[in-house]
């Protein structure tokens, strides 16, 4: 991996410096695909396009690295995660610029995502050292029952494009805290943030090969091959319900532990006694935050009769201000 960028970008134009310092090369993967700035359509980077066989090679590398990681102490893992958190915060502006360039959200929202995403790492750094398992008396007496928790094993993480840092740290950090190796497939629209975040993790002390970033335009082939590999023991996915069904079906053959955050269902209620101005602003934020691309974006608004007409008129005027 390359050394971390030493630039301190403070404006969007400096994102070119961040892009230039990303280490995107993966030995043996020669095919690439373009990553675009959604605001301009400009190609801003080319990243490796793994095929199914290359994805399985990444699984093998992670599995090998994970054997020694699982044997490390919880304190050791916690210290590395805390160092990763510090590097994310220390490079917040660089990450925000990457998020804005590849995902398209305003820079202010990208900066807010840094705090959101970094806090997952801090939380799991602290959770890593908390007691796991327990000892209790057997209900029938005469014995004590010992429960011990152990790393589940190699975890495949599949993340969406709308929060490219936070969804990556939300999945990587608990896996590392528990002692598990990781293969993460970011969305092809927004792979750069994940790549940079993992470079920061390596700089923090995460062992080489423990976290494998697999960028690909062949998601079905990736999932079919990787989830059939007996070295994989868990899959975590955030995305659509339709894709989640497919992944659960694939995971069932090897009885993989599965974590799924699928779709979104977020009704918003407005009652007659609501403050109209605050209700409109709340509805606007709930619907339009992150360009509406959030799992908790309001998808239905229920308004009580007494305030309905005034609310619709005021919300229409507010939405008309969006360019």
Q: How far apart are CA 258 and CA 276, in angstroms?
A: 43
Site of tokens 């990781």:
182
For 13-48, how does the pLDDT look when each residue is reduced to its tens digit (9 = 90+)? Answer: 677 878 887 889 899 999 999 999 998 999 999 999
pLDDT at residue 5 tops 70: no
Report whether 86 contacts 79 (CB < 8 A): no
Give the pair of three-digit tokens for residue 90: 């220390």
For 196-253, how does the pLDDT look when each residue is reduced to its tens digit (9 = 90+)? Answer: 999 999 999 999 999 999 999 999 999 999 999 999 999 999 999 999 999 999 999 9
CA atoms within 13 A on the CB side of 113: 31
Which pLDDT value is given to residue 4?
44
Which pLDDT value is given to residue 3?
41
Which pLDDT value is given to residue 13?
60
Q: How far apart are CA 101 and CA 220, in angstroms?
A: 27
Does 323 qualify as catalytic in the annotation?
A: no
pLDDT at residue 10 tops 60: no
pTM over 0.85: yes
Binned at pLDDT 50, 70 and 90, residue 7 comes out as: very low
pLDDT at residue 9 tops 50: no
Which of the four CATH numbers 3.40.718.10, 3.50.50.60, 2.30.30.20, 3.40.605.10 does domain 12-130+151-262 have? 3.40.605.10
* CA 16 to each of CA 12, 20, 98, 194: distance values in angstroms, whole numbers, following the listed order: 8, 6, 9, 17
pLDDT at residue 308 tops 50: yes
| Sign of the CA dihedral running 168, 171, 173, 179 | negative
Report whether 62 contacts 211 (CB < 8 A): yes
Average pLDDT taken over every residue of the chain: 92
Sequence ranges of the chain with CATH classification 3.40.605.10: 12-130+151-262
Which pLDDT value is given to residue 299?
84
Mean pLDDT over 175-187 rounds to: 98
Does 180 qualify as catalytic in the annotation?
A: no
Better-scored residue on pLDDT, 132 or 116: 116
Which pLDDT value is given to residue 25?
86
Which pLDDT value is given to residue 8?
42
Q: Which of 109, 126, 218, 295 is catalytic?
A: 295
Give the pair of three-digit tokens for residue 183: 């293969």
For 260-300, how does the pLDDT look when each residue is reduced to its tens digit (9 = 90+)? Answer: 999 878 899 999 999 999 999 999 988 887 777 777 788 88
Q: Which of 102, 261, 277, 281 is catalytic?
A: 261
Q: How far apart are CA 10 and CA 26, in angstroms?
A: 29
Which pLDDT value is given to residue 293?
79
């Amino acid at each position: 991996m390359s050394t971390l960028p030493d630039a301190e970008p403070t404006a969007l134009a400096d994102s070119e410096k961040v892009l230039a310092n990303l280490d995107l090369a993966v030995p043996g993967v020669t095919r690439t695909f373009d990553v675009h700035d959604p605001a301009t359509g400009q190609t801003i980077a080319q990243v490796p396009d793994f095929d199914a066989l290359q994805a399985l090679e990444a699984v093998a590398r992670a599995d090998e690295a994970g054997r020694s990681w699982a044997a490390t102490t919880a304190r050791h893992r916690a210290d590395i995660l805390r160092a990763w958190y510090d590097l994310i915060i220390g490079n917040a502006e660089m990450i925000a610029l990457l998020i804005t360039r590849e995902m398209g959200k305003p820079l202010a929202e990208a900066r807010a995502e840094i705090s959101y995403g970094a806090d997952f790492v801090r939380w799991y750094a602290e959770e890593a050292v908390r007691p796991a398992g327990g000892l209790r008396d057997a209900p029938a007496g005469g014995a004590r029952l010992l429960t011990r928790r152990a790393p589940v094993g190699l975890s495949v993480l599949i993340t969406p494009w709308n929060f490219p840092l936070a969804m990556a740290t939300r999945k990587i950090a608990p896996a590392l805290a528990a002692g598990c190796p990781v293969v993460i497939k970011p969305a092809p629209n927004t792979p750069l943030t994940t790549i940079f975040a993992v470079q920061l993790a390596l700089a923090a002390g995460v062992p080489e090969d423990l976290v494998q970033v697999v960028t690909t335009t062949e998601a079905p082939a990736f999932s079919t091959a990787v989830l059939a590999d007996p070295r994989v023991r868990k899959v975590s996915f955030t995305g659509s319900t339709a894709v989640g069904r497919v992944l659960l079906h694939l995971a069932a053959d090897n009885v993989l532990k599965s974590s799924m955050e699928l779709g979104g269902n977020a009704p918003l209620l407005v009652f007659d006694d609501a403050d109209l101005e605050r209700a409109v602003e709340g509805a606007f934020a709930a619907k339009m935050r992150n360009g509406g691309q959030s799992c908790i974006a309001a998808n239905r608004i229920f308004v009580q009769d007494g305030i309905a007409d005034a609310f619709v008129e005021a919300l229409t005027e507010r939405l008309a201000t969006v360019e």
